[in-house]
Structure 1
Amino acid sequence: MQSLAVQARWLTKRLEIHLLGNHLFANAKALVFAGLFFQGEEAEAWLHKGLAIIARELPEQILADGGHFERSTMYHALAFEDMLDLCNIAQVYAPTRHAQIKGWREVARKMRGWLTAMCHPDGEIGLFNDAALGIAPSVAELLGYADRLALAGPQVQAAQFRHLASSGYVRLEAPDMLALLDVAPIGPDYLPGHAHADTLTFECSFHGQRVFVNSGTSCYGISAERLRQRGTAAHNTVVVDGENSSEVWGGFRVARRARPLSLKISHENGDRIACSHDGYRRLPGQPVHRRTWFVNGQLRIEDAVSGRFGHAQARFHLHPDVKVQLVAGGSTVSLALPDGHEIRCEVERGVASLEPSTYHPRFGVSQATHCLVVELVDGLSVVRIDWN
């Protein structure tokens, strides 16, 4: 077996080669732990290297709103656990020894606030980009760990609306309704490996139950199923001419990618969030998708596609526990929740149909469900959702 010194030197070299993504925190954390556990010149060098990496990368990888720069809720949770571990060991072994340590607790507080903002009423994360339950510790476990370190989250007003502006998400609440809106870039330009083609998607819970869900992530590697789960059609957004809004390929690659445009937020007579993206401009007719969410006792979702295109579909994937029925000549969709509540979706513009779909809340899990598909008419669809 290699000595600890040999292993640490190997790890240091690896870190000089590969300093991207969530691996940074785990690897740099190992150097900090080794440097604090042991004494002597070599241990001090490990500590210096780990602290230097964290000091350099933390401002880039953790955004101003506390979100991880890859925009994956799962990888954010993993990075948050590493940040809590760093705060924990610094508190015990080096509370005042290194200037770099002083800002860690504030970063952890912001990360906690972002994580809680991106959760459903069931207490777990929304599934944005590569995300699945059961990989990172549960949100309850992470919050309990933070509480034991006396790391309360930032003071946030108990408002119906919260804009995580740096990462590009919106939390929108009304009585018995929660929506998580994606108006974000897919991730850093140089590290899109965990990105999905999901621009302008959303997830929504009613009466504490997840109803509209992204498909999640059940597998990695290079396969048709991996590609499908990353594709636009597996998310609650608009597919134009059967294309993905961002060109996902391989297992962890993205070519041309969608960028959000012209975000407008207003609170007159309700909450209105409107945003466009340019992901389809690479197509011959240069179409642009614009989506508007409006909440005022009901949730109204309007999708508009400008430019030349053949056909476009707005897709709304349902949680497997939701029973769906298309009624009233195809313009009304009834959603029955397990607790007996009923949600009504009125398709005010567009042509509605139901398709089989699958949901992947955990790795290795595929659950049968349904997707409400609304074909845009003259470039427009409008769906009104009533949960009262």
Structure 2
Amino acid sequence: MLWLYNLHYFDVLGSPTALERPEWIDPLIARWIAENPPGAKPAWDPYPASLRIVNWIKRDLSGSPLPPAAVDSLSQQAQWLDARIEWHLLGNHLFANAKALWFAGHFFEGREADGLLRRAISILARELDEQVPADGFHFERSPMYHAIIQEDVLDMIAITRVRPGDIAVSMRDRLIEVARRMMRALPVMTHPDGDHAFFNDAAIGISATTSELDAYASRVLGGGVTEEDGSALRVLPDAGYVRARRGEATVFFDAAPVGPDYLPGHAHADTLSLELSLGQERVIVNGGTSCYGSDAERLRQRGTTAHSTVILDGRDSSEVWSGFRVARRAHPFELTLEETGEVCAVACSHDGYRHLPGRPVHRRGWRLRDGSLLIDDQVTSARPHHAVANYLLHPDVAVERRDDATWRLRLASGRCVTLGVSVGRAELGVGIWAPRFGVRIATRRLAVTAQDGRACIALHW
């Protein structure tokens, strides 16, 4: 279904192909109109309709006017969408609906257009502060969807520059404020290589990069808006994500709820997972996302084993099921942060396994210095459990075992990292990294079996 949806988005209108072969576009639109009468599925489903409406309007406003038949179809699509808002899905789907109505309301004129615009404003008035809280990070807690929503907000501001209107002035000002705080949050979840971290549903190539969004924001808002504050330790308090930097090392840490309580569809069982980059090279990663749906691979990618965190008794820390569902879920608590001139120290616990015998609690603490990272996992329980701390390595990392407790990691640049296991027993296994939709790459996974509920490793470079 995801592939079929993409066929109907018309994202191609914003691609180099549309610029290089403009004569190809109008026949494509005409063919779509002929082959997809109103109500046809999945073409007229609200989500693909929302994206298509925006893409068609962007093409027209960019200097390639739509043919009259396409304008008529566009009006019909907007009215169709207005009657089928995705209140049952909420989240990024509802936001996409509002954006499409906002665009249509600015593109067309008259009473019906004003009605579309007012509907968009009413949705945005309800959703903006809910979906983008004070720390600026999108509430579904996916860096990929955050970037998508960020671009949506910038697009909605941009069209008011081309088609200003009195109705939308107040909401436009709110969108500008939201855009600025979202742009301040985005670097906190961006690796030095320029792409986002992999927490919850996240894949490279779906959303714009941080640098692309910064350039767009500079054009729309005037001036860059992603300047760093220079802190070695950054936290997004509403989202629950932490980023630390020391020297060439960057660590990203998930101390976040899996998502909104009523909307965990894009959640993974990745609580207390972390990722590590040295310079622009990723070292420790989470598994990523290559597919949607409800098959075994989708469940595996959402499960705890696909992430760099602790798994207990082979059970997921949050009970992901089907393609976009979560039953019992982990709740992080007791997050502590310390930043001195030499060290960033972070620790957090979660209760995702408290339904197991002995009510176990996992607490992860880590200390980042210039040249080292220490990670200490502790499972506290009235009953014994089999705890394993998994560390998924980037596919470019070569691994050599030096002795029972020491491993050498060689990065693509030739840099070497020594990984020592001070508590626990380590074994090297296979893993899968899914950086893009449709892409799965074999890699290595270091599994550290806890000793008396504790597993500790140290990396030095």
2:149 to 58, 79, 84: 79
* Structure 2 equivalent of residue 230 of structure 1: 302
Q: How far 1:365 moved relative to its partner? A: 0.7
Structure 1 SS opposite 2:399:
strand
Q: Note the 1:1-388 alignment, pairs <5 A.
A: 3=72, 4-15=74-85, 17-18=87-88, 20-94=90-164, 97=167, 98-149=169-220, 150=222, 152-153=224-225, 156-268=228-340, 270-297=343-370, 298-307=372-381, 308-328=383-403, 330-387=404-461
Quote the offset at 1:5 in angstroms.
Answer: 4.5
What amino acid sits opposite 1:314 in the alignment? A
Q: Unaligned stretches of 5+ in structure 2? A: 1-36, 39-71
TM value normalised by structure 2: 0.81
Instruction: Give the secondary structure class of the aligned counterpart of 2:259.
Output: coil
Shifted more, 294-303 versus 132-141: the winner is 132-141
Query: How much has 1:214 moved relative to structure 2?
Result: 0.4
Partner of 1:321, secondary structure, is coil
Distance 2:207 2:228 in 1: 25
1:196 CA displacement: 0.2
In the alignment, structure 1 segments of 5+ residues that lack a partner are: none
Contact 1:354 1:372 in 2 (8 A): yes
- Larger RCO of the pair (alpha carbons < 8 Å, separation 6+): 1
Q: For residue 350 of structure 1, report the CA deviation from its aligned partner.
A: 0.8
2:67 match: none
SS for the counterpart of 1:14 is coil
The answer as to whether partners of 1:240 and 1:309 remain within 8 angstroms in 2 is: no
Equivalent-residue separation in structure 2 for 1:381 and 1:8 (angstroms)? 56
Secondary structure, counterpart of 1:28 in structure 2: helix
Aligned match of 2:44: none
> Is the contact between residue 109 and residue 151 of structure 1 (CA under 8 Å) also seen in structure 2?
no
Would you tell me which structure has more helix in proportion to its own residues? Answer: 2
Q: Is the 8 A contact 1:261 1:276 kept in 2?
A: yes
Q: Distance in 2 between matches of 1:6 and 1:52?
A: 21
Counterpart Cα distance in 1 of 2:275 and 2:184: 19
C-alpha contact 1:73 1:118 (8 A) present in aligned 2: yes
Partners of 1:6 and 1:368 lie apart in 2 by 47
Distance, in Å, in 2 between the alignment partners of 1:211 and 1:296 is: 16
Q: Percent identity?
A: 50
Aligned length: 386
The whole-number CA distance in structure 1 between the counterparts of 2:329 and 2:414 is 41
Offset at 1:324?
A: 0.8
CA deviation after TM superposition for structure 1 residue 95, in Å: 7.0
Deviation at 1:267, TM superposition (A): 2.3
Bigger shift: residues 300-309 or 10-19: 10-19
Do the aligned partners of 1:258 and 1:277 also contact (CA within 8 Å) in 2?
yes
The answer (yes or no) to whether the contact 1:356–1:371 under 8 Å persists in 2 is yes
- Between 1:263-272 and 1:183-192, the stretch displaced more is 263-272
Residues 191 and 356 (structure 1), Cα distance of their counterparts in 2 relative to 1, 3 Å cut: same
Deviation at 1:19, TM superposition (A): 5.7
Give the SS at the match of 2:192.
Answer: coil
Residues 16, 151 of structure 1: alpha-carbon distance in 2 compared, 3 angstrom cutoff: farther
Supply the distance in 2 between the matched residues of 1:357 and 1:190 (Cα, whole angstroms): 31
Shift of 1:63: 1.8
Residue by residue over 1:248-303, the C-alpha shift from the partner in whole angstroms, topping out at 9 and shown as x without a partner, is 00011100000001111122552111100000001122100000011233211000
Give the greater-gyration-radius structure (CA): 2
Instruction: Measure, in 2, the Cα distance between the counterparts of 1:271 and 1:246.
Output: 28
- Aligned-partner Cα distance in 2 for 1:25–1:16: 9
TM normalised by structure 1 equals 0.96
Q: Which amino acid is the alignment partner of residue 453 of structure 2?
A: G
